Structure 1
Amino acid sequence: MKVYKTNEIKNISLLGSKGSGKTTLAEAMLYECGVINRCGTVENGNTVCDYFPVEKEYGYSVFSTVFYAEFNNKKLNVIDCPGMDDFVGNAITALNVTDCGVIVVNSQYGVEVGTQNIYRTASKINKPIIFALNKMDAENVDYDNVVNQLKEAFGNKVIPIQFPTQTGAGFNSVVDVLIMKQLTWGPQGGAPTVSDIAPEYLDKAQEMNQALVEMAAENDETLMDKFFEQGALTEDEMREGIRKGLIDRSICPVFCVSALKDMGVRRMMEFLGNVVPFVNEVPAPKNTAGEEVKPDANGPLSLYFFKTTVEPHIGEVSYFKVMSGTLHAGQDLNNQNRGSKERMAQISAVCGQIKTPVNEIEAGDIGAAVKLKDVRTGNTLNDKGVDWTFDFIKYPAPKYQRAIRPENESEIEKLGAILNRMHEEDPTWVIEQSKELKQTIVSGQGEFHLRTLKWRIENNEKLKIVYEEPKIPYRETITKAARADYRHKKQSGGSGQFGEVHLIVEPYKEGMPEPDTYKFGNQEFKMNVRDKQEIPLEWGGKLIIYNCIVGGAIDARFIPAIVKGIMDRMTEGPLTGSYARDVRVCIYDGKMHPVDSNEISFRLAARHAFSDAFKNANPKVLEPIYDVEVLMPSECMGDVMSDLQGRRAIIMGMEEASGLQKINAKVPLKEMSSYSTALSSITGGRASFTMKFASYELVPGDVQTKLLQEYEASKAEEE
């Protein structure tokens, strides 16, 4: 295979909503380039891009797939990304390591929620976008309406390059207003017949060409001057203007295709090859030190590893982008993240599951290596004397959680190793060993996302697992002051145990005055503060402890043990066993024994005294509340709203967002457990949501009663 130079390489992401036809379009692109001699289909499970067993089982893309297309002496590296919102991590990764995104739009549905989400992601990282209107041969396609939807959602930067002469089953011709020709295909698609534009389409073509010329001219002062002087630009000048417009994201070209019939695909690829900027023409990425790293083939060698997979019949495959320099097979490099050395024994160009060995790869290109010993996703490998690292990929917060355990508890360590490896393959699978919940929590982007994980563990790793409802990280606090005392006394021969602690608890708030006098019934308690400890709690909130003991009732050496006893109950609250927070404690009296008192005695006494006082201080359970944002088509608004209200949601606002409806709400985490699945069912998969922790709030009285009863029952079972 030819070694492509940096100025001959283009990196492109293939994006779009579920069902838009990306994988079919990828097949047509590969066919047009001669990589394959026959197009596979998703239904038959024989496409280049969907080759993993889980993808064939479920019939949808799960992983992004890297492939290259050699076209007109240029190399197009394309990453075909899954369309389901559950696998958005793949699209985010791809956009970060490529220089342009092609968003495939299902012309039957127009702008979907997924289309908006992908475009928003591309905008955040300043990546240019091209739209491919696919399935122009489907029924009920309204081309003008789809273009209007695009403009309404993404602005006037959207500019059609083509329009169809007809849509539906008769689709076989488009008018291309960049080259001002009509392209017509036979039943088998492929290479079109190029002819002059038919008279009935000429006026529309000239009007659209003029709009394209004006937009292209806006991106270059020289072209603008020429346009004002002559009123027109040559085709090459228009390409140059569009290229500059793509680089600064001021233009979004629109193409018409039928991927299944291979109509319009070759023309779109010509545009990708001739107009889309090369890797050395786009803004350079920055390393973690904030330095620009240009794709210079003669610069210092640095590789960024953006993807790891375990592939059938191959094993672990690590995908990388050459950020700078030229990589040679057999080269030794330093892993900047892990402090280890790595030999790049064999490097390959990638086309799906086909890996073609190459001797060198230049800056800006994408390649793969097999069975590296110590490389993880996100690592940087450098040549000697280079200390760069890269950290430019930011993933969204998880939206769906399950507790996970093996059916056979003896295989818990094996499961842990598998989960860590799965996280390497897909960083949006987040694994947490929760000390608080006493569960292993696996989080992802949705129910399908975690279902896929389960399928792979059970079918590829032959380990049966169980998903369970994760426990909710409730918090406990108090709402009034209360006092209690407790004497721990134990005598069983020899030295015994004795400790007595008197304390007062009250709710803590920032800025409250120091403790002075408390009154309970007819008794008044005057506090003489001798010492104060302020303990920020790792789970949020604070614990403030005052030593108010006078007269030597408890020796100072036992105070740390008393604090430990209080912390025991803060970490396992008296009501539900959840973490407690925002409590102020005054230790004001007690008793000790000259022989039998020791640390364990006072720790146990403090634990019981604090628990009794806590229960008398009108305790409350707090639950985590999340800010939830739902994006959906307007016709789904009523059903989504009704479902949210059934989840104890407080609706904070509603608004229109680029042709879609958006609801902002505050929802208890307990009610969000199955929301991903429910929302997909309610809207037919046409909605998406994000959630972010907001605060802890009091649970309703009936919910608290139920939680307390469940906790008491569980403690009774343990005894």
Structure 2
Amino acid sequence: MGEFDTSHVKSIVLLGHAGSGKTTLAECMLYEAGITSRRGTITEKNTVGDYHEMEQERGNSIFSKLMHAKWRGYKINILDTPGYDDFTGEVIAALRVADTGVMLLNAAMGVEVTTDLIWQYTEQFKTPMIFAVNKLDDDSADFDKTVSQAKSHFGTKVSVVQYPRQQGAGFHEIIDVLRMTMYKFRDTGGKPEKLPIPDDEKERADTLHKELVEAVAGNDEALMERYFDKGELDEDEMKEGLKKAMIHHDIFPLFCLSAERNMGSGRLMGFIDNVCPSANEMPPQITKNGDKLPCDSNGPACMFIYKTVTEPHVGDLSFFKVYSGTIKSGCDLENETTGVSEKLNQLFLVEGNKRINTNELVAGDIGATLKLKNTHVNNTLHARGKNYELKPVEFPPPNMTVAIETIKKGEEEKLSQALHQLREEDPTLIIEFSPELKQTLIHCQGDMHLSVAKWKIENIHKLDVKFTRAKIPYRETIRSSADANYRHKKQSGGAGQFGEVYMRVEPWYEGMPEPTGMNVRGRDSYDLDWGGKLVFYNCIVGGAIDARFLPSILKGVMEKMQVGPLTGSYVRDVRVSVYDGKMHPVDSNDIAFKLAGLQAFRQAFQQASPQILEPIYQVEILCPDELTGAVMGELQTRRGLVEGIEVEGNFQKIIARMPLAEMDGYSSSLRSLTQGRAKFKSKFLEYFPVPYEIQQKLIEDYKHKEEAMEV
């Protein structure tokens, strides 16, 4: 039997914008619980959480970390997460397995942009949430403003449980309106002295206490009746009501902290073990089939892989949460996705970069195991005979694309293996080899995300690589109709080649009328792999060309459409009508008509007002009001077109169209322009004609490139 049963295991995730103090709070929790003998600091580079070399160099979290504290008969799993939106995937995966989220707000900065981003995911998962206003000892701290912003962004469900008696350098007293007690801390923090609320704070404390009691009672009819009968709720009734309201996302309690000076963390941990739900008190998991899976340690074994880390000389370390049953070392479980049986030879509790062997983990607990050969992030492992597949984490789409190549020739296979490993660890990193662009592409969340990938490739996989700008997948089309003909004639010692084709090309659009002045004998429509259509008409009369040669003509047209006449890009949305030609009874064959069709199409295309199309993306930028003008100015320099501005909380959401060709480096520019206070997301919108001067430059560049290759 394990040390803790399911009801005594709580899993929390620390959330918030970069610099809000998550890692420092985790250090306080570990120290208060006696897990560590001294609190590490980010400046001294000795925290349990930020142990990775990159994190110590940068001074902020990059990866989510698992730690745990034993506190008053409970085990609290602590998931520390990064605060930059480039690493949102780490945050979402941790949120997926947490029972409660603790959202840290920087009292000097208020609600910051990443906080809003993360909040969307807490709403999606319906994770019970606590707010903790941190850095109240900062000279710029403003508790009331921060609370006001929190209520503006996240609603009136934000309920004050604590407020500071003073702020700034003199901060050392917290008024708790749930317990109606004042906590007074020494300058060094730690365990506070419990005192009555001073007379000059009673009125405010009573008002906030009444608001809290009414908020709790308002979400439970039985508690509301007790409140009406007694005019008050006792502490146990408040705990019961708070837990129910948190589970249903009806109340978000708000606490006070100075994590750096270790003030308030003990009370927060007490609330977590006393009030916050354990996994068996949360609604059951719903499988893909719609079945309910209660969190019961006596149920069938079922666990979910939420993260994978590769450790040098060891292998893949898979992090998981047990959602049902008891997982024991040496047990065999079946992977629902792959159908493969996996043996869990070792189970670990994890403390940052330390692994602690354990024999079993009960439902609701989080741990890790090594060397699962055919199991990946988002996979469900379960007891044989069960068909459980838990809903996967949905990771955000990428915002940035670059091309990657090795500096040394001959290391392409090593690079492929390294990229595969990176993808295994990080599902938000998408790797693609583009036959169209003839480049290996990395799609990622932003420049910081990319720099992490580069560091791993160079330092772990020992490969020298360079990133280059990804080519733009332009498209080519036409704006008018044109006729052309081409005769392919080749004579040799034996049979020659002969084929002559007359063709009309027109811009295709949905619902266009049939070709005029032609005898239509056949029509085929093709949805192109790269988007758009080719519509191919047989308008041959009098047997000028045998029907058996039409597929060859079509093949020639399609071949040229894959290497467009202007820039070598794919051609789309064209109607081709073959209406005449000639053939030879001996020399005509498939290759002759394929080449004649290709050349006739090329000539007609160039005479039909050809147009280059570029991919246009819709970009949504969330930024503070005072930065809106600067952000819009930057968009204009990138040929961006602002389509609208909406208010989202205390932020402005700018909606714009931007050509993909202008998005190179936008992540870095936006972060620099706004000091990291803005974020953006983008998605493909449509193909649109490029401006004339850009089209001419693209054609000229392609012409020079072709000439250089011929030399």
- Asked whether the 8 Å contact 2:2–2:361 carries over to 1, the reply is no
The equivalent of 2:166 in structure 1 is: 166
The equivalent of 2:551 in structure 1 is: 560
- Asked whether the 8 Å contact 1:317–1:371 carries over to 2, the reply is yes
The equivalent of 1:410 in structure 2 is: 410
- Asked whether the 8 Å contact 1:302–1:324 carries over to 2, the reply is yes
The equivalent of 2:248 in structure 1 is: 248
Could you list the runs of 5+ residues in structure 1 that have no partner in the other structure? 518-526
Return the alpha-carbon distance in structure 2 between the equivalents of residues 693 and 10 of structure 1.
41
TM-fit CA distance, 1:312: 5.5
User: Is the counterpart of residue 655 in structure 1 residue 646 in structure 2?
Assistant: yes
Return the alpha-carbon distance in structure 2 between the equivalents of residues 566 and 678 of structure 1.
43
The equivalent of 1:393 in structure 2 is: 393
Deviations along 1:592-635, one digit per CA (max 9) or x if unpaired, are: 22222222221111111111111111011111111111111111
User: Is the counterpart of residue 440 in structure 1 residue 445 in structure 2?
Assistant: no
- What aligned pairs does 1:452-531 form with structure 2 within 5 A after superposition? 452-517=452-517, 527-531=518-522
Return the alpha-carbon distance in structure 1 between the equivalents of residues 237 and 561 of structure 2.
71
- What aligned pairs does 1:218-617 form with structure 2 within 5 A after superposition? 218-311=218-311, 314-517=314-517, 527-617=518-608
The equivalent of 1:620 in structure 2 is: 611
The equivalent of 2:71 in structure 1 is: 71
SS in 2 for 1:409: coil
The equivalent of 2:82 in structure 1 is: 82
Return the alpha-carbon distance in structure 2 between the equivalents of residues 374 and 152 of structure 1.
46
Give the counterpart letter for 1:554 in structure 2: I
- Asked whether the 8 Å contact 2:316–2:370 carries over to 1, the reply is yes
The equivalent of 1:679 in structure 2 is: 670
SS in 2 for 1:612: helix
Give the counterpart letter for 2:508 in structure 1: Y
- Asked whether the 8 Å contact 1:157–1:250 carries over to 2, the reply is yes
Give the counterpart letter for 1:682 in structure 2: L
Deviations along 1:158-181, one digit per CA (max 9) or x if unpaired, are: 111101111111111100001100
SS in 1 for 2:286: coil
- Asked whether the 8 Å contact 2:105–2:146 carries over to 1, the reply is no
TM-fit CA distance, 1:143: 0.9
Return the alpha-carbon distance in structure 2 between the equivalents of residues 499 and 508 of structure 1.
26
Instruction: Give the stretch that moved more between structures: 576-585 or 281-290.
Output: 281-290
Give the counterpart letter for 2:4 in structure 1: Y
- Asked whether the 8 Å contact 1:133–1:257 carries over to 2, the reply is yes
The equivalent of 1:13 in structure 2 is: 13
TM-fit CA distance, 1:409: 2.9
SS in 2 for 1:694: strand
The equivalent of 2:131 in structure 1 is: 131
What TM-score, normalized to structure 2? Answer: 0.98
SS in 1 for 2:290: coil
SS in 2 for 1:593: coil
**Percent of paired sites with the same residue:** 49
Return the alpha-carbon distance in structure 1 between the equivalents of residues 64 and 589 of structure 2.
62
Return the alpha-carbon distance in structure 2 between the equivalents of residues 407 and 387 of structure 1.
47
The equivalent of 2:704 in structure 1 is: 713
- What aligned pairs does 1:20-39 form with structure 2 within 5 A after superposition? 20-39=20-39
Return the alpha-carbon distance in structure 2 between the equivalents of residues 142 and 333 of structure 1.
52
Return the alpha-carbon distance in structure 2 between the equivalents of residues 710 and 390 of structure 1.
51
Give the counterpart letter for 1:79 in structure 2: L
Return the alpha-carbon distance in structure 1 between the equivalents of residues 128 and 697 of structure 2.
53
- Asked whether the 8 Å contact 1:219–1:242 carries over to 2, the reply is no
Return the alpha-carbon distance in structure 1 between the equivalents of residues 127 and 499 of structure 2.
68
Q: Specify whether residues 594 and 391 from structure 1 end up closer, same or farther in structure 2 by C-alpha distance, changes over 3 A only.
A: farther
- Asked whether the 8 Å contact 1:301–1:327 carries over to 2, the reply is yes
Return the alpha-carbon distance in structure 1 between the equivalents of residues 461 and 589 of structure 2.
52
- Asked whether the 8 Å contact 1:52–1:312 carries over to 2, the reply is no
SS in 1 for 2:285: coil
| RMSD across aligned positions (CA) | 1.3
SS in 1 for 2:126: coil
Give the counterpart letter for 1:132 in structure 2: A
Return the alpha-carbon distance in structure 1 between the equivalents of residues 592 and 287 of structure 2.
56
Return the alpha-carbon distance in structure 1 between the equivalents of residues 8 and 583 of structure 2.
84
TM-fit CA distance, 1:314: 4.2
- Asked whether the 8 Å contact 1:3–1:361 carries over to 2, the reply is no
Return the alpha-carbon distance in structure 1 between the equivalents of residues 119 and 342 of structure 2.
37
TM-fit CA distance, 1:255: 0.8
TM-fit CA distance, 1:317: 0.6
The equivalent of 2:680 in structure 1 is: 689
- Asked whether the 8 Å contact 1:321–1:367 carries over to 2, the reply is yes
- Asked whether the 8 Å contact 1:15–1:81 carries over to 2, the reply is yes
Return the alpha-carbon distance in structure 2 between the equivalents of residues 191 and 116 of structure 1.
33
Return the alpha-carbon distance in structure 1 between the equivalents of residues 53 and 500 of structure 2.
65
Return the alpha-carbon distance in structure 2 between the equivalents of residues 26 and 349 of structure 1.
16
TM-fit CA distance, 1:391: 3.4
- Asked whether the 8 Å contact 2:378–2:392 carries over to 1, the reply is no
Instruction: Give the stretch that moved more between structures: 670-679 or 376-385.
Output: 376-385
Return the alpha-carbon distance in structure 1 between the equivalents of residues 43 and 419 of structure 2.
30
Deviations along 1:131-170, one digit per CA (max 9) or x if unpaired, are: 1111111111111111111111111111111011111111
Give the counterpart letter for 1:385 in structure 2: G
The equivalent of 1:524 in structure 2 is: none
- Asked whether the 8 Å contact 1:434–1:440 carries over to 2, the reply is yes
Return the alpha-carbon distance in structure 2 between the equivalents of residues 251 and 145 of structure 1.
20
SS in 2 for 1:604: helix
- Asked whether the 8 Å contact 2:2–2:362 carries over to 1, the reply is no
Give the counterpart letter for 1:576 in structure 2: T
Return the alpha-carbon distance in structure 2 between the equivalents of residues 640 and 404 of structure 1.
29
Q: Specify whether residues 110 and 100 from structure 1 end up closer, same or farther in structure 2 by C-alpha distance, changes over 3 A only.
A: same
Give the counterpart letter for 2:152 in structure 1: E
Give the counterpart letter for 1:627 in structure 2: Q
Return the alpha-carbon distance in structure 2 between the equivalents of residues 45 and 312 of structure 1.
22
Instruction: Give the stretch that moved more between structures: 208-217 or 58-67.
Output: 58-67
Count residues with an aligned counterpart. Answer: 710
SS in 1 for 2:140: coil
Give the counterpart letter for 1:558 in structure 2: F
User: Is the counterpart of residue 642 in structure 1 residue 633 in structure 2?
Assistant: yes
Give the counterpart letter for 1:320 in structure 2: F
Return the alpha-carbon distance in structure 2 between the equivalents of residues 302 and 483 of structure 1.
66
Return the alpha-carbon distance in structure 1 between the equivalents of residues 172 and 124 of structure 2.
37
Return the alpha-carbon distance in structure 2 between the equivalents of residues 488 and 181 of structure 1.
95
Give the counterpart letter for 1:235 in structure 2: E
Return the alpha-carbon distance in structure 1 between the equivalents of residues 150 and 631 of structure 2.
24
TM-fit CA distance, 1:572: 1.4
User: Is the counterpart of residue 195 in structure 1 residue 186 in structure 2?
Assistant: no
- Asked whether the 8 Å contact 2:640–2:658 carries over to 1, the reply is yes
Return the alpha-carbon distance in structure 1 between the equivalents of residues 316 and 587 of structure 2.
62
User: Is the counterpart of residue 119 in structure 1 residue 119 in structure 2?
Assistant: yes
Return the alpha-carbon distance in structure 2 between the equivalents of residues 56 and 596 of structure 1.
74
Deviations along 1:367-411, one digit per CA (max 9) or x if unpaired, are: 100122222112222221012223331111111111011112311
Return the alpha-carbon distance in structure 2 between the equivalents of residues 37 and 107 of structure 1.
28
Return the alpha-carbon distance in structure 2 between the equivalents of residues 5 and 461 of structure 1.
41
- Asked whether the 8 Å contact 1:52–1:311 carries over to 2, the reply is no
Q: Specify whether residues 391 and 572 from structure 1 end up closer, same or farther in structure 2 by C-alpha distance, changes over 3 A only.
A: farther
SS in 2 for 1:410: coil
SS in 2 for 1:665: strand
- Asked whether the 8 Å contact 1:565–1:605 carries over to 2, the reply is yes
Deviations along 1:321-379, one digit per CA (max 9) or x if unpaired, are: 11222111101122222232211001111221121111111112111001222221122
